[in-house]
Amino acid sequence: MSVEFDIAETLDVKGASCPMPVIETKAATDGLVEGEVLEVLATDPGSVSDIDGWAAGTDGVKLLEQVEGEDVYQHYVRRTE
């Protein structure tokens, strides 16, 4: 899939394990304005399902894409309100 996004901020949570990638992603999206995209870089394989579940249950954010690399997982989250 891999679409280009206009990234407002990149959050590096490599080395952090559950629940820190989600906690730090939530804090970072709170600082965005509507329409901005946050790129999250994580090494925890659980971040794929954790960030997906968090975004699905959270008003004001939308998970746009997740890219599973060899060592790094990229997540793209848009602030929607």
Which residues, 6+ apart, have CB-to-CB distance to 61 below 8 Å?
A: 29, 55, 77, 78, 79, 80
Which residues, 6+ apart, have CB-to-CB distance to 67 below 8 Å?
A: 2, 73, 74
Q: Which of 9, 12, 18, 49 is catalytic?
A: 18
Which residue, 77, 60, 69, is CA-closest to 14?
A: 69
CA–CA separation, 45 vs 71, rounded Å? Answer: 9
Tell me, yes or no, if 18 is annotated catalytic: yes
Catalytic center residues? 18
